[in-house]
Amino acid sequence: MSIDLADKMPFYLQVRNSLRQKIETGEWNEGDLIPSEKELAQHYGVSRVTIRTAISKLVQEQYLTRRAGFGTTVYKNKSSLSNFTMIRSFTNEMNEMGLPSKTMESELKEIEADKLLASIFNINEGDMLYNLRRVRGTVIPILYSDTYLLPVVKLPNTESFLMGSLYKYLSSQNIFFNVFEEYVSAVLAPKTIRNILQIQDDSPQLKRKRYSYDESNRLIEYTETFYNAAHYEYRTRLYYRKK
């Protein structure tokens, strides 16, 4: 990645986002020694001060750690999306349970925001949104997700995108989330969703609402997900780290 001179985002944030992408996508792994400030400055075509500022931000966010006389490495047990089960990918969740997983159905559309969506995103009625609907599971469907996104980047209607990781694609486009809000409740799922998830009775199911905000506190993603409670359990893993 090179610095985009036409982008109004400060250079140090562009560098920070690029470095963070390398960590989130696994290009740099926990414990890896990253290139020196001089090498990064040459790579991005910016000053070492800019690189130092970007790295300092990532150290504060616990993506990187500095060791005197050694260099800067990727933080072990870093505070990232992968540490939290409900934010982690569905594939990883199922792997933890020892189950294979796959996307069974996926559909991407462009829609006009209705009154409710306009109020959620603080946009005008009729403004365009992406709507991504997915059914995921193992040999049986386990979840149905209905995701709405601001068109901050173009989403491709390709099989690799539809069946792949949404967050991984967004990070590849330098779209990162800074804050997540999630609400989990037990509800009676609508009949259409019970049919999709092959739920035969009226027992309560797990519903999660997620609001994902970018670094300027702008809501980018809103998702409603229904889980088949007979085949899914909620798990949370929290880490305590001494400062």
Residue 102 φ/ψ, nearest 5 degrees: -165, 160
Question: For residue 196, what pLDDT is reported?
Answer: 96
Q: How far is CA 148 from the centre of its chain?
A: 13
Domain boundaries, the chain: 11-74, 81-227
pLDDT digit string (tens) for 151-175?
A: 999 999 999 999 988 888 888 887 8
pTM: 0.65
Q: What is the DSSP string of the chain?
A: ----TT--S-HHHHHHHHHHHHHHTTSS-TTPBPPPHHHHHHHHTS-HHHHHHHHHHHHHTTSEEEETTTEEEEPTT-SSGGGSTTTS-HHHHHHHTT---EEEEEEEEEEE--HHHHHHHT--TT-EEEEEEEEEESSSEEEEEEEEE--SSPPP-SHHHHHS-HHHHHHHTT----EEEEEEEEE---HHHHHHTT--S---EEEEEEEEE-TTS-EEEEEEEEE-TTS------------
Please tell me which of 9-13, 57-61, 220-224 the model is most confident about, judged by mean pLDDT. 220-224
Buried b (16+ CB within 10 A) or exposed e, 109-128: eeeebeeebbebbeeeeeee
Give the CATH number of domain 81-227.
3.40.1410.10
User: What span, in angstroms and rounded, lies between the C-alpha atoms of 197 and 192?
Assistant: 9
Q: In the numeric block, which tokens belong to residue 132?
A: 């991504």
Give the CATH number of domain 11-74.
1.10.10.10
Q: Considering only residues 76 and 85, tell me which one the structure prediction assigns the higher pLDDT.
A: 76
Name the residue with tokens 């933080």: 75
Angle at 219 between CA 115 and CA 235, to 5 degrees: 110
Please tell me which of 60-74, 157-171, 224-238 the model is most confident about, judged by mean pLDDT. 157-171
Residues constituting the chain: 243
pLDDT digit string (tens) for 128-141?
A: 999 999 999 988 89
Res 185 pLDDT > 90 = yes
Q: List, in order, residues 6 or more apart from 41 with CB less than 8 Å away.
A: 47, 48, 50, 51
pLDDT digit string (tens) for 78-131?
A: 444 444 444 556 666 665 556 667 889 999 999 999 999 999 999 999 999 999
pLDDT digit string (tens) for 20-46?
A: 888 877 788 888 899 999 999 999 999
Which of 10, 1, 4 lies closest to 216, judged by CA? 10
